[in-house]
Chain A
Amino acid sequence: MEKRIENSAILKIIAYILLFVFVILTGYSALGYIAYKEMPEIATNKPYYETQAFADTFETHIAINMSRLDSFIQNYQDYQEEVQAVDQETVSESSVLEDYTYFHSQEQSYLEKIQNGEILYESLYSNMGASFRYLIIKDNLKITNIVQTGDTDTVEKLIQTIRKDSYHWSYVKGEVGTNIANLEKDKVIYDPQIEDIIEGDYEVYFSYQPNTTEYTAFERNNAIYELIQKHYIGYEMLPLYAFLSIILFVYLTVSMGHSRKKEEIYCNFIDRIPLEILLFLSGMAVSFEVLGLYVMFIDISQIMYERITIPFISILSIIAMIYITIMITYSSMIRRIKAKIFWKNTIVYKCWAFLKRVIWGNITKFMGRLSANWRLSIYYFGFCIISVILFLLALDNGFCVFLLLVWGIWVFMKITDHLKQLKKIRDMINHIYDGKTDFLLNEEEFKGNLRNVAKYLNDIAGGFSNAIEENLKSERMKTELITNVSHDLKTPLTSIINYVDLLKAENIENEKAKEYIEVLDNKSQRLKKLTEDLVEASKASSGNIKLTMEKLKVKELIHQVTGEFEDKFEARKLETILSYPEENVLILADSRYLYRVLENIYSNIAKYAKEDTRVYVDIVKNNKKVLIAIKNISKEQLNISADELMQRFVRGDSSRNTEGSGLGLSIAKSLTELQGGSFDIYLDGDLFKVVIEFPIVEE
């Protein structure tokens, strides 16, 4: 396997680190974007007090203080009316006292002061401490939260004090005076909360003097603003960071589980932890880490007021821990999916598998011990019970109708599946019966007992094919042996034939000697023929022959062969009667070996046919086959069956005196069958009939 660079460990580690960096940058940019949307000024050098946010907060405080002071004033006026009512004896004093306890307790000083037009130095309703100051004037009422000193004992001095503060806002007789940017008049006075109050002939003054020692909303916001402004890096790179993060994430996801060294998915010890435990552990870890982060942020909020920088390293390390935990879990899950053990390595699956093994295993074991009839009965009984239950339930439950349907389909599928398996087994038996033993069943496809049947059948087929192979091998060896033996026989035979021939040429007077030489000559010639036929017979019967098949004309062949034997037949006064169809009939055969077949038949006839008889050769077209039937009358009585005649070394005459090896018909039969034809002999009294059949082929 080629070592793929993208799976190298170093590259992956770099990718993990880069992914972390880009995820942090993405998150940071995203936070920056949110902050920018809230306060666009953080992107500039503007201080907090010149931002829209400050103006908005200031306005909010105006609104809050105005409404509170207004209700104070309203309460005071109501109290005065109540007091007058007491004087006119329309209500009882006690009820007034109950409703306006506050004013009542302060009655003397407040009433006096208000009636004298004195200023109320009252900070009761301010939540902003001393830094946020106000002065409200309405008729005789003058209220402020400024501390009374010599510099603030008149309204004019108070107004001056407020106007001296860094940021102030006032509304006097429809005129707004302010030095705060972004705080328009309309915005304040048309604020639905304040609108009505201000219309009520108020003179209103508000101011704020930044004071770092005092905890106010302004100070807090200012601190946060400055912090963000200091660390703001813009959000323009956000899409790039996000894109790079996604790319790296995808790359890591794809390469997870692959290594340079191994082809298959590798799993480490983490992947062997059951999924639920892994998820629980990593969940716990992340929870603790987030808790840590939270604690740290609380800490930061404390630190913030003291103007101390955020401990970035601490935050970063906690985020890194979260990142590592999540990535470990994620990569393990991806590896499990890739290694296809995602479900297998879960506690749920293991429990299920255990239950299945124990319960289902025992059921099948029990069923396996039962006889086929019992098993079938149980299956059928179970099917009936479930069907009836489902049917009854389906009477008034829609879901059960669906279940019944599913159940029906499931049972049907099971039965067809079983029948299919049976069919395959039947086919396999047919194959074996036909001798096609190279076909094997896939045992995986079979279930239960049928799997064993399939296995046994495969073994039987294997055994058969082995036996056939063994048989072929031994046939081949036999042929080889015969070839070698015949070769060894031929060499001495050559000398015998030659010297007999030389002897014949000698001038021998003795008649007996001449007769003996004649016998020697005949027998040595027969021996020669025998050795040749022996090799051929053995080759033909073992199929150890290379055939060159071509299209032959049957009629032409018969004419040729008949012509070849014309002289021999004539010598024995045999007349050949040919009959054939008009059209050309073609067969596929090896011309040389088909001639050998016919040659053997014809020379048999030349040898054994009764003299002065007719030989009939008929070519008959029969459907898709062509028959060559050759008939003659035997000279000798044939006390033998046709089958025996075709066996090796068997001849029609038992004396074995005449020439021939007795192999001719056996060779002819084997050669015909090798070429895809059939060869049969029929005997009827003295009638000897050979029928050769070949399939017809198109031109």
Chain B
Amino acid sequence: MYTILVCDDDKEIVKAIEIYLTKEGYHVVKAYNGREALDIINKEEVHLVLLDIMMPEMDGMTAAARIRKDKTVPIIMLSAKSEDYDKIMGLNNGADDYVTKPFNPLELIARVNSQIRRYTSLGSIHQEKENEENVYITGDLKINDNTKQVTVEGKEVKLTPTEYNILKFLTKNKGIVFSIEQIYENVWEDEAYGAENIIAVHIRHIREKIEINPREPKYLKVIWGIGYKIEKL
């Protein structure tokens, strides 16, 4: 059983998160400011930290930086501050993810699961580089062209053949931006006349399947007015 430290000065929020996480089978320890969180981390084994930013005594930014000094435990920032600047600050201070309040409980749980999986099985996935033939990997997204299987963080994702082909093509060429036309020509090997919308719809569907939050995709990025790409992670 994995232990998760939830730290927020709002006790009701901590309580609600506890309920969600306990349901998911996690053990939850609670803290109400940065100092308490640090004390707990030094005493107990913690597998993930959920950290609010604005807290009395010691704020989340400072706490995150202190934790990062000698711990590799994943940290998810949880804050009402939603400016780009705040997110960048959080990630720079050692956070692995940033969730803005008010959050969708399902999304929060998905992100917690993702981080836990990465942290506990660290190495196994990463060692599994593109050493096999016809296997394409970026971050925790893996496409095995031999078995036609797509997995995200080890979980299999069901894709239609068209979606699969598009994702395979983009993952094969990760980091490169392709316009709808280019994707069409490469996947269908045909002129893209009149089919542009279909690609966009497919991309939308793929995102809904592989991303935790399709509006803020991690793998399949939309560059509006230019094209799509699979992020090189």
| Pairwise interchain contact B102-A493, C-beta atoms closer than 8 A | yes
What is the minimal beta-carbon distance from B155 to any residue of chain A, in angstroms?
23
B204 contacts A490, CB within 8 Å?
A: no
CB-CB under 8 A from B227, the residues of chain A are 556
For residue A596, give the distance in angstroms from its CB to the closest CB of chain B: 9
A122 close to chain B: CB less than 8 A: no
The answer to the question of A109 belonging to the interface, with a C-beta cut-off of 8 Å to chain B, is no
Residue of B16, B103, B222, B226 touching A553 (CB-CB under 8 A): B226
Q: Interface-forming stretch among B64-72, B117-125, B193-201? A: B193-201
Whether, in the assembled complex, B233 has its beta carbon less than 8 Å from a beta carbon of chain A, the answer is: no
A512 within 8 A of B: no
Quick one: given A491-B10, A495-B13, A498-B105, are A557 and B224 in contact (CB under 8 Å)?
yes
Bound-complex Cα distance A528 to B100 (A): 11
Q: Which residues of B contact A561 (CB under 8 A)?
A: 200, 224
Question: Cβ of A556 and Cβ of B105 under 8 Å apart?
Answer: no
Question: Of residues 548 to 566 in A, which have CB atoms within 8 Å of B's CB atoms?
Answer: 550, 552-557, 559-564, 566
Contact between B80 and A491, CB atoms less than 8 A apart: yes
Q: Pick the contact of B201 from A483, A550, A567 — CB < 8 Å?
A: A567
User: A65 CB to closest chain B CB, in angstroms?
Assistant: 122
Interface residues of A in 489-547 (CB under 8 A from B): 490-491, 493-499, 501-502, 528, 532, 535
Q: Are B103 and A564 neighbours in the complex by a CB distance under 8 Å?
A: no
Per-residue contact bits, chain A 136-160, to B (CB 8 Å; 1 contact, 0 not) = 0000000000000000000000000
**CA distance in complex: A592, B103 (Å):** 22
Q: Which residues of B contact A550 (CB under 8 A)?
A: 226
A556 vs B203: C-alpha distance when bound (angstroms) = 13
Closest to A493 in B: B102
Q: CA–CA, A499 to B201, complex, Å?
A: 34
Beta-carbon contacts under 8 Å, A270-310 to B: none
Q: Smallest CB–CB gap between B208 and chain A, Å? A: 9
Once the chains bind, are B226 and A556 in contact (CB under 8 Å)?
yes
Contact of B102 among A494, A563, A591 (CB under 8 A): A494
Q: How far is the CA of A550 from the CA of B13 in the complex (A)?
A: 41
Q: Does B101 contact A (CB under 8 A)?
A: yes
Q: Mark B74-117, 1 if CB is under 8 A from A, else 0.
A: 00000011110000000000000000111101000000000000
Q: Which residue of B lies closest to A565 (CB)?
A: B204
Q: Which one of B19, B81, B200 lies within 8 Å of A563 (CB-CB)? A: B200
Taking CB atoms, residues of chain B closer than 8 Å to A567 are 201, 204
Is residue B210 contacting chain A, with contact meaning CB distance below 8 A? no
Give, as a whole number of angstroms, the nearest-CB distance from B220 to chain A: 12
Task: Give chain B residues whose Cβ lies under 8 Å from the Cβ of A595.
Answer: 222, 224-225
| B157 at the A interface (CB under 8 A) | no
Q: Which of A126-184 contact B (CB under 8 A)?
A: none
CB A552 to nearest CB in B, in angstroms, measures 3
A571: shortest Cβ distance to chain B, in Å?
Answer: 13
Check B81–A499 contact: CB distance below 8 A.
Answer: no
Most buried by B among A491, A557, A591: A491
Q: Are B12 and A495 in contact (CB under 8 A)?
A: yes
Contact partner of B197 among A501, A557, A576, A592, CB < 8 A?
A576
Partner of B225, one of A495, A496, A497, A594: A594
For B226, the chain A residues whose CB sits under 8 A away are 550, 552-553, 556, 591
Residues from chain B with a CB closer than 8 A to the CB of A562 are 197, 200
B200 engages A566 (CB within 8 Å): yes
**Whole-angstrom distance from the CB of B103 to the nearest CB of chain A?**
7
Please determine whether B13 and A594 come into contact, CB atoms closer than 8 angstroms. no
Whether A491 touches B200, Cβ cut-off 8 Å, given contacts A554-B225, A556-B180, is no
Known A-B contacts A552-B225, A556-B225, A563-B197; A501 and B101 likewise in contact (beta carbons under 8 Å): no
Residues B200 and A498 in contact, CB atoms below 8 Å apart:
no
User: Is A578 an interface residue when CB atoms closer than 8 A count as contact?
Assistant: yes
Picked from A495, A532, A559, the residue with its CB within 8 Å of the CB of B200 is A559
- The answer to whether B16 and A564 touch across the interface, beta carbons within 8 angstroms, is no
Interface bracket on A: 35 or more
Expressed in whole angstroms, the Cα–Cα distance for A491 and B10 within the complex equals 8
Binary flags per residue of B202-233, CB closer than 8 Å to A gives 1, else 0: 11100000000000000000111111000000
Quick check: is A487 within 8 A (CB to CB) of the other chain? yes
Indicate which residue in B105, B196, B225 contacts A591 across the interface (CB closer than 8 Å). Answer: B225
Could you say which residues of chain B place their CB within 8 Å of the CB of A488?
A: 80
State how many angstroms separate the Cβ of A104 from the closest Cβ of chain B.
139
- Measured between C-beta atoms, what is the minimum distance from A595 to chain B in Å? 4
Closest chain B CB from A373 CB (angstroms): 63
Interface string of B172-202 (1 = CB under 8 A from A): 0000000110000000000000001111111
List CB contacts (< 8 Å) of B1-21 with chain A.
10, 12-13, 16-17, 19-20
Closest B residue to A539 by CB, please name it. B83
Give the complex CA separation of A553 and B81 in angstroms: 33
Shortest Cβ gap from A532 to chain B (Å)? 7
Which chain A residues lie closer than 8 Å to B223 at the CB level?
591
Contact: A497 with B102, CB < 8 Å?
Answer: yes
> In the bound complex, how far is the Cα of B92 from the Cα of A176, in angstroms?
126
Q: Which residue of A lies closest to B11 (CB)?
A: A495
Q: Which residues of A contact B20 (CB under 8 A)?
A: 498, 502
Which residue of chain A lies nearest to B9 when distances are taken between CB atoms in the complex? A491
Would A553 and B179 count as touching, CB distance under 8 A?
yes
Report the separation of the CA atoms of residues A497 and B201 in the bound assembly, to the nearest whole angstrom.
30
Closest A residue to B83 by beta carbon equals A483
What residues of B have a CB within 8 angstroms of the CB of A557 in the complex? 224-225
Closest chain-A Cβ to B178's Cβ sits at a distance in Å of 11
Q: Does A461 contact B (CB under 8 A)?
A: no
Minimum CB–CB distance for A529 against chain B, Å = 10
24 A-B residue pairs with Cβ-Cβ distance under 8 Å, sorted by A, are A483-B83, A488-B80, A490-B80, A490-B82, A491-B10, A491-B101, A495-B12, A495-B16, A497-B102, A501-B105, A502-B16, A502-B19, A502-B20, A554-B225, A556-B227, A557-B224, A560-B222, A561-B224, A563-B196, A563-B199, A567-B204, A578-B197, A594-B225, A595-B225
Which 8 pairs from chain A and chain B are nearest by CB? A563-B200, A552-B225, A557-B225, A490-B80, A498-B16, A591-B224, A494-B102, A595-B224
Known contacts A528-B102, A576-B197, A595-B224; 4 further A-B pairs (Cβ under 8 A):
A498-B20, A502-B20, A560-B222, A562-B197
